[in-house]
Amino acid sequence: MSTPEGRGMATLIGLGMIVVIAAVFIGIYLDFKKKNSTYIVLKDQQIPCGNLSGSCDLVQGGVHVTSDQQCQSVCDTTSECNGWLYDRLSNGSGPNCWVKYLSPLVPSSAESLPGWDMGYKITATS
Protein backbone atom coordinates (compact mmCIF):
# COMPACT_ATOMS: atom_id res chain seq x y z
CA MET A 1 0.00 0.00 0.00
CA SER A 2 1.42 3.39 -0.93
CA THR A 3 1.54 6.29 1.45
CA PRO A 4 0.64 9.91 0.66
CA GLU A 5 4.31 10.81 1.20
CA GLY A 6 5.40 8.21 -1.37
CA ARG A 7 2.95 9.52 -3.95
CA GLY A 8 4.12 13.07 -3.29
CA MET A 9 7.76 12.07 -3.74
CA ALA A 10 6.94 10.28 -7.00
CA THR A 11 5.14 13.39 -8.24
CA LEU A 12 8.15 15.58 -7.40
CA ILE A 13 10.53 13.19 -9.15
CA GLY A 14 8.25 13.13 -12.21
CA LEU A 15 8.07 16.93 -12.31
CA GLY A 16 11.84 17.15 -11.92
CA MET A 17 12.34 14.82 -14.86
CA ILE A 18 9.97 16.90 -17.00
CA VAL A 19 11.90 20.08 -16.13
CA VAL A 20 15.24 18.45 -17.00
CA ILE A 21 13.93 17.10 -20.31
CA ALA A 22 12.43 20.50 -21.19
CA ALA A 23 15.74 22.24 -20.38
CA VAL A 24 17.63 19.81 -22.63
CA PHE A 25 15.24 20.43 -25.54
CA ILE A 26 15.42 24.21 -25.05
CA GLY A 27 19.22 24.02 -25.09
CA ILE A 28 19.22 21.95 -28.27
CA TYR A 29 16.80 24.39 -29.93
CA LEU A 30 18.85 27.46 -28.97
CA ASP A 31 22.06 25.82 -30.19
CA PHE A 32 20.36 24.95 -33.50
CA LYS A 33 19.09 28.52 -33.91
CA LYS A 34 22.55 29.96 -33.27
CA LYS A 35 24.23 27.64 -35.76
CA ASN A 36 21.54 28.18 -38.40
CA SER A 37 21.27 31.94 -38.21
CA THR A 38 20.14 34.01 -41.14
CA TYR A 39 22.52 36.77 -42.17
CA ILE A 40 22.34 39.83 -44.36
CA VAL A 41 25.64 40.22 -46.24
CA LEU A 42 26.82 43.64 -47.36
CA LYS A 43 29.45 43.66 -50.14
CA ASP A 44 32.10 46.40 -50.00
CA GLN A 45 30.58 47.82 -46.82
CA GLN A 46 30.83 47.75 -43.07
CA ILE A 47 28.61 48.80 -40.20
CA PRO A 48 30.41 50.87 -37.55
CA CYS A 49 30.44 49.51 -34.01
CA GLY A 50 28.35 52.29 -32.58
CA ASN A 51 29.94 52.12 -29.13
CA LEU A 52 32.21 54.66 -27.47
CA SER A 53 35.31 52.44 -27.49
CA GLY A 54 35.13 52.04 -31.28
CA SER A 55 35.83 48.31 -31.04
CA CYS A 56 33.30 45.54 -31.06
CA ASP A 57 35.65 42.66 -31.91
CA LEU A 58 35.00 39.52 -29.88
CA VAL A 59 38.28 37.85 -30.90
CA GLN A 60 41.06 40.38 -30.49
CA GLY A 61 43.39 40.43 -33.49
CA GLY A 62 40.93 38.57 -35.72
CA VAL A 63 41.30 35.11 -37.25
CA HIS A 64 42.45 33.73 -40.60
CA VAL A 65 39.82 32.00 -42.76
CA THR A 66 39.56 31.15 -46.45
CA SER A 67 36.06 32.48 -47.20
CA ASP A 68 33.27 34.69 -45.96
CA GLN A 69 31.30 31.51 -45.17
CA GLN A 70 34.07 30.41 -42.80
CA CYS A 71 34.02 33.84 -41.19
CA GLN A 72 30.26 33.44 -40.68
CA SER A 73 30.86 29.99 -39.15
CA VAL A 74 33.33 31.51 -36.69
CA CYS A 75 30.60 34.00 -35.74
CA ASP A 76 28.08 31.19 -35.28
CA THR A 77 30.37 29.45 -32.79
CA THR A 78 31.43 32.60 -30.90
CA SER A 79 29.31 33.61 -27.95
CA GLU A 80 27.45 36.92 -28.41
CA CYS A 81 28.54 37.30 -32.05
CA ASN A 82 25.95 39.03 -34.23
CA GLY A 83 28.14 40.15 -37.12
CA TRP A 84 31.41 39.62 -38.96
CA LEU A 85 33.77 41.58 -41.21
CA TYR A 86 35.78 39.73 -43.87
CA ASP A 87 38.70 41.07 -45.93
CA ARG A 88 38.24 39.21 -49.21
CA LEU A 89 41.31 40.83 -50.81
CA SER A 90 43.71 39.47 -48.18
CA ASN A 91 46.23 37.08 -49.69
CA GLY A 92 48.40 36.37 -46.67
CA SER A 93 48.11 34.10 -43.67
CA GLY A 94 47.28 36.93 -41.29
CA PRO A 95 43.86 37.71 -39.87
CA ASN A 96 41.14 38.50 -42.39
CA CYS A 97 38.00 37.85 -40.33
CA TRP A 98 36.75 39.80 -37.35
CA VAL A 99 33.72 38.55 -35.44
CA LYS A 100 31.75 41.25 -33.73
CA TYR A 101 29.08 42.16 -31.24
CA LEU A 102 27.40 45.19 -32.76
CA SER A 103 25.39 47.11 -30.20
CA PRO A 104 23.44 48.95 -31.26
CA LEU A 105 23.17 47.22 -34.63
CA VAL A 106 22.25 49.98 -37.10
CA PRO A 107 22.29 48.61 -40.68
CA SER A 108 21.33 52.01 -42.08
CA SER A 109 24.72 53.36 -40.91
CA ALA A 110 26.66 51.11 -43.34
CA GLU A 111 29.77 52.73 -44.79
CA SER A 112 31.65 52.01 -48.01
CA LEU A 113 34.68 49.74 -47.52
CA PRO A 114 35.90 48.32 -50.86
CA GLY A 115 37.22 44.75 -50.69
CA TRP A 116 35.48 43.97 -47.41
CA ASP A 117 32.22 42.16 -46.74
CA MET A 118 30.12 42.39 -43.62
CA GLY A 119 27.45 40.01 -42.44
CA TYR A 120 25.01 40.59 -39.62
CA LYS A 121 22.38 38.35 -38.10
CA ILE A 122 18.72 38.95 -38.67
CA THR A 123 16.93 38.88 -35.35
CA ALA A 124 13.26 38.14 -34.87
CA THR A 125 11.14 41.00 -33.60
CA SER A 126 8.34 38.85 -32.23
CA dist 58 → 54, 65, 77, 83, 114 (Å): 13, 16, 11, 10, 23
H or E stretch covering 24? helix 4-35
**Mean pLDDT score of the chain:** 82
Strand-by-strand arrangement of the 97-100 sheet: 39-46, 111-121, 83-87, 97-100
CA 90-47-106 angle, to 5 degrees, is: 160
CA distance 94 to 64: 6
Whether the pTM exceeds 0.75: the reply is: no
Tell me the per-residue pLDDT of 16-73, one tens digit each, with 9 for 90 and over.
777 777 666 555 555 555 555 789 999 999 988 876 666 899 998 899 999 999 999 9
